[in-house]
Structure 1
C-alpha cells in the first residue's frame, strides 16, 4: 500500500486560524451602518466568535436593540504581510453570521474565558469604567462585548476564494510560529539577505529576474514573493516534513538553503 504524501502546506482552516491569531485588528459590518473596528475576535469552542466594538458605536446599539434575534453581520479579517510589499494583503477572511449582544451577567465569565487563551489588552476596556473605589473612570475607548454565531466562512488570497466548514475551523490550530512570524521575516529581510538569496536560488530561473521578498513562514515551509515587471508571483518552498519547534525550524531552513551544517555548526577555522 502506498504511503500518504507528506503534507507540504497548511490546510485552509489552519491558514484561517493563523490569520485570526495574527490580525491585530478587524472590522465588523452590518448592512446600512459604518463598519466598526473590533480588536478582539476570538473563536470559542462552541463555534461562535467573541468580538468587541466601541460601546458608543451604532453597531453596538443595533446589536443590543436586536435582542435575541440578533442581526446579520460580517467579520472581516485582513492578514497583512509583515514587509512593505507592492501588494501587502496576503489574505482576507469573511465570517458571516448572527450578531448578538452578550447579556451583562455573562460578560465577566466570557471575558475570563477569552483572556485565558488570548490576553488582549482591549479586554480590560470591555464595559469598564468602575474602579475599586466605586468612582468612574473614562478610558480612551470603551468596548461592548458581542457574540457572532457563525453561518459561513470564506477566505480569499492570490490563489482564489474558498469556503470552509465550521467543523474544520474548530478542528484546526494556528501555526505554532504565527505569533513570531512577522519579527522573523522582518529580521530576515533586514539582516539576513543572504538567506533570502540562498532560498531564491531554489526558484525557477524565470522567477529570479524579479525582486524576491520573504512573504510567509510556517511549520510546513517558507513562502517567497517575487515582484517582477510582469506582476507578483508567490512561491512556496516546502520543508521535508512539518516542524514543531524553533530548533526544527532552523534546521529545516538550512536544508532549504542547501547549508551543509544542518545543526548550525561552523566549519573548523571559521
Structure 2
C-alpha cells in the first residue's frame, strides 16, 4: 500500500515503481496523464539507445542503430552483407517475422530501475526514401544519425507492453496515432543533471512530500520527468515510494519544464512557511556542482 500525503492509499500509472502517489495541493490530482500504454511504447522506442532484434531463433543487440518515424515505423540500420542483414533479407515481407524488444529504465542509479518492457512484432522491408516526405525535421535528423549502412523499415503488426508486472497488448492503431512524451529523449540527461547539480532544488521539492514519509527515508531522488510532472523517489531501507508532483498543466517541450518547476517550488515554499512560521525561505543545500549548462538548456537555472 502506498502512503498518500492525505493519509489514504493512492495509485498512479506509469511511474518507476509498482506504486506511487500524487502529492501536490492546488494542482488537479485527478488530471488525465499522457503516459498511456501507446505513449509509453512510443516513448520507450524513441528514447532507447539500443534494442534487441529477433529473427527466428537468432537475437542480436543493436546499439545506436534504430529510429522511429512519426507513424511508429521502426527504422533499423543493418549492413545487408552481415549475417543479421542476410536474416533480414530472408525475413523480408513475412508478416510478424521480426521481433523488437526494448527496456525502459530509470536513468539514475537506484533500485528497481525497470519501468517497462516493450516488444513489437513487425514486417520488415527495405526503407523507401519516399517515407521522408511524411517525416518532420526531428525524424529526418534521427535517420541521419544512423550508421551509413542499409536501412530497413519494420511495420508493426503487434505491440506489447509489460509494466508494473502487468502485460498487455497495445492497439497498433493507437500506437501509430500516439506520439512519444515530449521529454522522453532528454529525460536521461535531465534527471542526472538535476540530481548532481541542483540538489538545492531537490531539497525544496522534498517539502511537497509528506514529512512522515521523508522522515523514514534515506534519500529522495528524481526518477522520472514527463509532460505531466516530475516523480521523486523516497528510498528507505526496506523499500521505496514514488511520489508524482504534477505540473499545473502538461508541458509541450523542454522550455516548459522551468515553468512547471517554478510552480512546484512556489508551492513548496508556501508549505514550508506553513510548517515553519517565519520568513518564507527554504534553506537547502547549495548545488553539488556548479551548473555547466546554459539557462536555456538547463530548465532549472531560471527558476
Task: Provide the rounded CA distance (Å) in 1 between the counterparts of 2:57 and 2:101.
Answer: 16
| Partner in structure 2 of residue 33 of structure 1 | 58
Instruction: Report SS of the residue matched to 1:123.
Output: coil
Shift in CA distance, 197/154, structure 1 to aligned 2, threshold 3 Å: farther
* Cα deviation code 1:219-242 (max 9, x no counterpart): 101112233222243332222321
Instruction: Report SS of the residue matched to 2:205.
Output: helix
- Alpha carbons 2:224, 2:232 under 8 Å: kept: yes
Q: State whether structure 2 residue 84 is matched by structure 1 residue 76.
A: no
Task: Provide the rounded CA distance (Å) in 2 between the counterparts of 1:248 and 1:122.
Answer: 26
Q: Aligned residue pairs: how many?
A: 236
TM-score when normalising by structure 2: 0.66
CA drift of 1:33 comes to 1.1
| Partner in structure 2 of residue 133 of structure 1 | none
Superposed CA RMSD:
3.0
Q: State whether structure 2 residue 73 is matched by structure 1 residue 52.
A: no
Task: Provide the rounded CA distance (Å) in 1 between the counterparts of 2:97 and 2:255.
Answer: 45
Question: Alignment partner for residue 44 of structure 2, among 16, 19, 39?
Answer: 19
Q: State whether structure 2 residue 259 is matched by structure 1 residue 234.
A: no
| Partner in structure 1 of residue 148 of structure 2 | 125
Task: Provide the rounded CA distance (Å) in 2 between the counterparts of 1:71 and 1:8.
Answer: 31
Shift in CA distance, 181/71, structure 1 to aligned 2, threshold 3 Å: closer
TM-score when normalising by structure 1: 0.73
Unaligned stretches of 5+ residues in structure 2: 1-29, 271-279, 281-303
| Partner in structure 2 of residue 176 of structure 1 | 182
Instruction: Report SS of the residue matched to 2:97.
Output: strand
* Cα deviation code 1:34-78 (max 9, x no counterpart): 324162131453x53222234344332122124433662211122
Shift in CA distance, 55/231, structure 1 to aligned 2, threshold 3 Å: farther
Query: How is 1:1-270 mapped onto 2 (pairs within 5 angstroms)?
Result: 6-37=31-62, 39-43=65-69, 45=71, 48-69=73-94, 72-98=97-123, 100-102=124-126, 107-110=128-131, 116=137, 117-120=139-142, 121-126=144-149, 144-158=150-164, 160-205=166-211, 207-208=213-214, 209-210=216-217, 211-246=219-254, 248-257=256-265, 258-259=267-268
Unaligned stretches of 5+ residues in structure 1: 127-143, 262-266
Task: Provide the rounded CA distance (Å) in 2 between the counterparts of 1:179 and 1:214.
Answer: 16
* Cα deviation code 1:173-208 (max 9, x no counterpart): 222223332222122101211222222332344532
CA drift of 1:255 comes to 2.5
Task: Provide the rounded CA distance (Å) in 2 between the counterparts of 1:109 and 1:36.
Answer: 28
